[in-house]
Amino acid sequence: MSIARSGRHAIVHERAPEVGGRFHDDFQGLENWTTARDVLDELASFGIEMDFDHAPFHETVVFDPAGRPHRYRSPKPLYYLVRRGSGPGTLDASLKAQALDCGVEIRFKDPKPHLPEGGIVAAGPRGADAIAVGYVFDTDAADATYGAVGDHLAPKGYAYLLVQGGLGTVAVCLFDDFHNERTSLERTVAFFQDRVGIDIMNPRRFGGTGNFTVPQTARRGCVLFAGEAAGFQDPLWGFGMRYAMVSGCLAARAALSGDLALYDRSWQSRLGGQLRRGIVNRYLYARFGDRGYAALLHLLDRAPDVRAQLRDYYGTSLAGRLLYPWAHHGIRSRRTESSV
Ligand SMILES: Cc1cc2nc3c(=O)[nH]c(=O)nc-3n(C[C@H](O)[C@H](O)[C@H](O)COP(=O)(O)OP(=O)(O)OC[C@H]3O[C@@H](n4cnc5c(N)ncnc54)[C@H](O)[C@@H]3O)c2cc1C
């Protein structure tokens, strides 16, 4: 969009016949805790209009490994629920409409192997460091969001139940033990039905993968890589939408400036610290297992402002910097290539 608005001819080559084909109308959380600035303000600063369905959530309940609920509230939204897929109201359909309005040409079923100078690759994950499987469903339940942690349910990951406006998503996000995904999902559904008493009508199954890394550079020759194609995603919990949109906009700015080296400087400055800290968080989270998840929730229980506390966990700190080489070494990305 930035490129088309500057008066240049922007072409998007999309492999699939439609946008959002990787998703199934499932809810995803647009996280709002890694910066003090609201995520919607940041997206607006890049010229993105919020005309997709987005519901702010100020409160969530997370169950610890022993099944005890922890309720977290925040005066500012902790996240915005958005829907992913091709249908009306989804983030994907909205971004497509906005791009077309700006004059972007979208060529569907057109995977282009070689891009010209200044081209931006945003082709999604290149491996599976995490997988998520779940159901989207209809429900009479009230709007609410829940999470659950525990290796019995979600090895090294977490489970979630998101309900908004009569639609629901229940899923488990695994960072280990992928071959037991079916069992983990069955346990997740049973767990939330037991704890929350959710009615699940007309369930439709979905699944997907994600990957993360901290690349040395997100540029190969004259081509820039954005979003998960570069490995940009929250290594701790897999929140990747914000990374994808922010990095895509920074790549476009660099391409427009004619200084492609600007891109590495700008993503490093905006996302680099957060990504490195995310690697440390992921390493510690996976290493300490159930005891660690319980300790994390306990710390959040005591925080006067849970959003600020989470932001702290993604901020740069001496401990984070010292632990990074060790954590980076300890985490092996399953990406097909370790850098772009
Ligand atoms: C089940 C699930 C739940 C998730 N939940 C959350 C969440 O709650 N919050 C959050 O922030 N993130 C979440 N994520 C992660 C988030 O969806 C991704 O990080 C984000 O969509 C990545 O955006 P992207 O633009 O890099 O890639 P994508 O959104 O995958 O888009 C890539 C596009 O490139 C196209 N493409 C692929 N190869 C080619 C090619 N060779 N040529 C042309 N086009 C190509 C694809 O068809 C696709 O349309 C979730 C992911 C999954 C799978």
Residue 240 CB–ligand 1 contact under 6 Å: yes
Cα-to-centroid distance, 125 and ligand 1 (Å): 7
Residue-wise DSSP of 24-75? -SEEEEEE--SSSS-HHHHHHHTT----S--EEE-EEEEE-TTS-EEEEE-S
Residue 233 CB–ligand 1 contact under 6 Å: yes
Among 11, 12, 13, 15, residue to substitute to test ligand 1 (most atoms within 8 Å of Cβ): 15
Quick one: pLDDT at residue 338? 47
Residue at 167 is within a domain: yes
Percent with pLDDT over 70 in the chain? 98
Ligand 1 atom with least separation from CA of 240:
19
* Identity of the residue numbered 294: A
Helix (H, G, I), strand (E, B) or coil at 138: strand
Answer yes or no: are the C-beta atoms of 126 and 229 closer than 8 Å: yes
SS3 content of the chain, % helix, strand, coil (to 5): 35, 25, 40
**What average pLDDT does the segment 211-232 reach?**
95
Ligand 1 atom with least separation from CA of 84:
17
pLDDT per residue over 72-105, tens digit each?
A: 999 999 999 999 999 999 999 999 999 999 999 9
Residue at 327 is within a domain: no
pLDDT per residue over 147-174, tens digit each?
A: 999 999 999 999 999 999 999 999 999 9
Please tell me the residue having the least CA distance from ligand 1 atom 41. Answer: 111
Q: Is the dihedral of CA 55, 303, 323, 263 positive or negative?
A: positive
Residue at 123 is within a domain: yes
In sequence order, the 6+-apart residues with CB closer than 8 A to the CB of 297 are 62, 64, 70, 149
Q: What is the CATH number of the domain that holds 33?
A: 3.50.50.60
Separation of alpha carbons 290 and 68, rounded Å? 13
Residue at 69 is within a domain: yes
Cα-to-centroid distance, 302 and ligand 1 (Å): 34
3, two tokens: 């490129």
Please tell me the residue having the least CA distance from ligand 1 atom 33. Answer: 123
Model confidence at 31, in pLDDT bands (50, 70, 90)? very high
Sole residue written with tokens 């709007």 = 143
Among 1, 13, 26, 84, residue to substitute to test ligand 1 (most atoms within 8 Å of Cβ): 84
Residue at 106 is within a domain: yes
Phi, psi of 67 (to 5 degrees): 85, 10
Helix (H, G, I), strand (E, B) or coil at 164: strand
Please tell me the residue having the least CA distance from ligand 1 atom 13. Answer: 239
The reported pTM is 0.96
Cα-to-centroid distance, 228 and ligand 1 (Å): 7
Separation of alpha carbons 261 and 224, rounded Å? 10
Residue 62 CB–ligand 1 contact under 6 Å: no
Model confidence at 331, in pLDDT bands (50, 70, 90)? confident
Separation of alpha carbons 252 and 276, rounded Å? 23
Ligand 1 atom with least separation from CA of 206:
1
Quick one: pLDDT at residue 114? 85
Residue at 290 is within a domain: no
Residue at 75 is within a domain: yes
Question: What is the span of the domain harbouring residue 242?
Answer: 2-257
Residue 118 CB–ligand 1 contact under 6 Å: no
Q: How many domains does the chain have?
A: 1
Residue at 83 is within a domain: yes
Residue 340 CB–ligand 1 contact under 6 Å: no
